[in-house]
Amino acid sequence: MCDSRGMRIATWNVNSITARLPRVLAWLRSAQPDVVCLQELKCGADAFPRDEITELGYDIACHGSGRWNGVAVLSRIGLDDLTRGLIDEPSYDGEIEPRAIGATCDGVRVWSVYVPNGREPGHPHYAYKLRWLAALRETVLAENEPGRPFAVLGDFNIAPTDDDVWDISAFTGSTHVTEPERDALAALREAGLSDVVPRPLKYDYPYTYWDYRQLAFPKNRGMRIDLVYASGAFADAVTDAYVDREERKGKGASDHAPVVMDLAPHSTP
């Protein structure tokens, strides 16, 4: 990979890159990731703050429309084979939303994804979410080549197990925990990917998202919905994976924390 120390890859739903820019810049300087997958940019490609981020040594690929979604990949080790959108990606209300972007960074193929929320079971957006996840699986099947480091990273808006939410009883009748959504994650695993679970630090479960309301973060009423689904070649190279919970603290924080993985060095094919 990039050098003798290996590669650091992160994913982070920033909940508006413009609102979060000072914190993003400070975090890039301190965490020193080589590749970062961002979600929920809430800005179009022409409004993305390129100058500030390129000054830190990153190339940028983004896919956004200026609304509430948008995704990007930042890399300081190469940014090749860009793909915006999924195979047979479905539309919602007649629009293909900017929710997925793929890039190859020093031989590692990454996809930054912002899975639709679904709103509530029975809502048209929930059916759209399931169709979108099916398109993601088709893209994985097309790209997940044997022996290739490959990962889909981002805000999946799904908690894989009951342990990945602070109280499963609080989610009765809600999205994020339903069987069809979890079946879609199982379909990704059947396509050759595994869930790279970050290690918990202070708390029992490595949540990645905490609502802004009702003191959810201080009370650790969170969810693990920011996930890394990786091929064997990628997962086997992971030497550490953690949630940077400190970045959820303080004024102006996103409601999501970055998920960070360190990968051992290897010879790029």
Binding-site residues for Mg(2+), in ranges, read 13, 40, 155, 157, 255-256
Q: Is 226 a catalytic residue?
A: no
Single out the residue of 166, 161, 162 nearest to residue 222, CA to CA.
166
Burial (CB < 10 A; 0-12, 13-18, 19+), residue 235, is buried
The residues with which 95 forms a beta bridge, in sequence order, are: 92
Tokens representing residue 181 in the block: 């959504």
Which of the following is catalytic: 155, 164, 226, 262? 155
DSSP string, 209-220: EE-SSTTTTTTT
Q: Is 114 a catalytic residue?
A: yes
Which of the following is catalytic: 34, 63, 114, 226? 114
In the sheet that 100-105 helps form, which strands lie side by side, from edge to edge? 80-84, 100-105, 108-114, 150-155, 226-230, 194-195
Q: CB-based contacts of 151: which residues, under 8 Å, 6+ apart?
A: 9, 108, 109, 110, 111, 193, 196, 228, 229, 230, 231, 234
d(CA 174, CA 178): 7
Q: Is 125 a catalytic residue?
A: no
| Pairing status of strand 7-13 against strand 35-39 | parallel
Which of the following is catalytic: 128, 176, 209, 256? 256
d(CA 45, CA 60): 10
Catalytic residues: 114, 155, 256
